[in-house]
Structure 1
Amino acid sequence: MTEAVRETAPGAVREPVLSVRDLSVSFRSDTRTVHAVDGVSYDLFPGEVLAVVGESGCGKSVTSMAVMGLLPPTAQIGGSIRLGGRELAGASEKELQKVRGKDIAMIFQEPMTSLNPVLTIGRQIGEVLRRHQGLSRKEARARAVELLDLVGIPAPQRRVEEYPHQLSGGMRQRVMIAIAVACDPCVLIADEPTTALDVTVQAGILEVLQSLRERLGTAIVLVTHDLGVVADAADRVLVMYAGRTVEQAPVHDLFGSARHPYTRGLLGAVLRPGGEGKRRLPEIPGLVPSLDSQPDACTFAPRCGRADDTCTGGRPGFRPIHPVAGAGARHRAACWHPYGADEPSGAERPATTGATDEPTAAARPDQEAGK
């Protein structure tokens, strides 16, 4: 189990709009069980952007889908998901339909496959408005035009009558955002909203999200692989590995003084302008392990140069970096041997667990189930 971070604003106690506690998700088949998420906890506060990062297969998207109640029947969910005091874990589909799109919404990864190719943009935006706000078809169309203008689509009066294939990738992504924010939800989950878009379009999408945050006070969970996007848009970062949370910190603390070896590995693999010519980027050896089981140990130990017998003998707690910080600690890591504040990444402990540069587990065709 991981312990969520509760933050307190100066002079006042802030209540989270979304509170996830000890969330676990597993998928069962006839032959095996995949543990995609294991003990993830976090709080999301009004107007905050929480970035969730990690390699493919670490459980980021499954965590988001669990919060939305969009997992298939084969999924087994444990823990608690509270939205404004309402428990979503275990809620019926009828109850979830009242919440999705109204109080909590999601921007899916690929808008071309998420949008209906045979319905106009206006009709797809209008559907959520008519369902949750009871607008007429004419009123929903007028509101759809306003929403398209809000997300920066030119000529919204014309675009509202067009179909997804008539729009560019960036415009389709903006349409997905328009659908997601149509009813002014208090929580918006953006699952890799800038993937496969060029940098100019990415900047535009991030500007739209920032604008929505400022205008509506929307809290955003930003799932992404792009640490440049994280540095630019997030307030706080949650790092996941093999279905578990390994580090959580304010964005400036994480980039300035990451403590978990996995987080340091991710940051070290980022391309930087004006780098050292053809210097090879450092890489994290091995692969994300198979999620057939979750050991009572550090799951990153087989890939970590700092690992020793302690790491393989027990699961590290999700502890404050500064013990005196107590329950309100903003920077936490699940590591037996975290880096010191001024310790360079190259200063590693001798590996005693036989960690090598070879993969520790064969890549599985269904490894993306933990994404």
Structure 2
Amino acid sequence: MNRTDTATASRSAPNGAEAVLSVRDLTVSFRGPDRTVHAVDGVSYDLAPGEVLAVVGESGCGKSVTSMAVMGLLPPTAHVGGSIRLDGRELVGAPERELRSLRGRRLSMIFQEPMTSLNPVLTIGRQITEVLSRHQGLRRREARERAVELLDLVGIPAPRTRVDEYPHQLSGGMRQRVMIAIAVACDPAVLIADEPTTALDVTVQAGILDVLRSLRDRLGTAIVLITHDLGVVADTADRVLVMYAGRPVEQAPVDELFGAPRHPYTGGLLGAVLRPGSRTAGGRARLNEIPGLVPDLSEQPQGCGFAPRCARASADCLTVRPASRELSTTHRVACHHPVTAAAEGPANPRRPHHPDTSEGAAR
């Protein structure tokens, strides 16, 4: 694929601002000895400076693989197609040396599990200063002072003491904050946060989200937030991209999507959110469920991947893949039979035999 330089005219994000990251028709497949897994199929989005895009969906829907493709961190068995442009520069097919110069400087990622991502035999300060020395050429003393500043920025108490400690000496929330400090050390243009609040208690989770919001406001960093937690999405995101079986099925501003989801799968996810007054069984709250499972990605269906689980499916859904279409200038959906905007919202989801929404996935 021919690469383009920064002189290429950049695309605009939905809010009209110039897109710092532009993804078009992204595909990712993994070749194995006896089969090929199509993990991502046709993902497109634009991200403006300071914007937060949440990517949601069940496990196995391709959220993390999409972001690893953007970072250029997929294994050699992966085949990446489509286009990924950062500041107008094409990343698909770019040399590894060029990608290394961008990672950590213009493009950073917070990985899911900090205990396995941090080096257990190096101090926190050493792991932060390594990024600063490589990308900004800071000397040891300067880098150390900057590391202390970064630890303070992400809300770690006594940063001058913590900078000399090892990962096992910190709590889970502190380790996650260290990962954020490393990711934002060079003021990246785009930050990918892959499940940044997984396995953290509610208080620590709120602190982590406050840190991300503060960084966005201070630095104008664009954030791709990968999460299963729709409460986090509602509190943090500007727009939402819903993925199912490797394909994008709906994309809209967060208020519009939560208020009137148009794809049955989106309605199902929102229906799984526990709300006050939910039906109870034996005194316990009961969540709605989407029947069935995410399909095997080595056998992409000819039609809509969600059709076997969808109460609205017709014969066409099983044989014809739905194209992504605009419902408005800010709302796109890939569905032959989208829910009408006037249909009942997710606050009172219907059971599967009703046509207006599907059930939620208790996952």
Q: Normalising to structure 1: TM-score of the pair?
A: 0.89
After superposition, the C-alpha distances for 1:240-279 in whole angstroms (9 at most, x for unaligned) are 0000000000000011000100000000011113434445
How many residue pairs align between the two structures?
A: 339
Higher relative contact order (CA 8 A, sep 6+): 1
Q: Is the 8 A contact 1:311 1:336 kept in 2?
A: yes
Structure 2 SS opposite 1:105 = strand
Partner Cα distance (2:228, 2:101) in 1: 31
Partner Cα distance (1:56, 1:338) in 2: 23
Partner Cα distance (1:234, 1:8) in 2: 14
The within-5 A match list for 1:1-371 is 7=13, 9=15, 13-278=16-281, 280-321=286-327, 325=328, 329-344=329-344, 345-346=349-350
Q: Is the 8 A contact 2:40 2:66 kept in 1?
A: yes
Q: Which runs of 5+ in 1 are unaligned?
A: 352-356, 358-371
Partner Cα distance (1:293, 1:37) in 2: 13
Q: Is the 8 A contact 2:244 2:306 kept in 1?
A: yes
1:153 positional shift: 0.2
Partner Cα distance (1:251, 1:291) in 2: 28
Partner Cα distance (1:201, 1:350) in 2: 40
Partner Cα distance (1:292, 1:348) in 2: 27
1:350 positional shift: 7.7
Q: Could you tell me which amino acid in structure 2 is paired with residue 295 of structure 1?
A: P
Partner Cα distance (1:8, 1:179) in 2: 30
Q: Is the 8 A contact 1:104 1:185 kept in 2?
A: yes
Q: Which residue of 2 aligns with 1:363?
A: none
1:93 positional shift: 1.0
Q: Is the 8 A contact 2:322 2:335 kept in 1?
A: yes
Q: Is the 8 A contact 2:14 2:46 kept in 1?
A: no
Q: Is the 8 A contact 1:307 1:349 kept in 2?
A: no
Structure 1 SS opposite 2:37 = strand
1:280 positional shift: 2.8
Using the aligned pairs only, state the percent identity. Answer: 74
1:7 positional shift: 4.2
Q: Which runs of 5+ in 2 are unaligned?
A: 1-10
Q: Is the 8 A contact 1:53 1:240 kept in 2?
A: yes
After superposition, the C-alpha distances for 1:15-38 in whole angstroms (9 at most, x for unaligned) are 100000000001111111100000
Q: Normalising to structure 2: TM-score of the pair?
A: 0.90
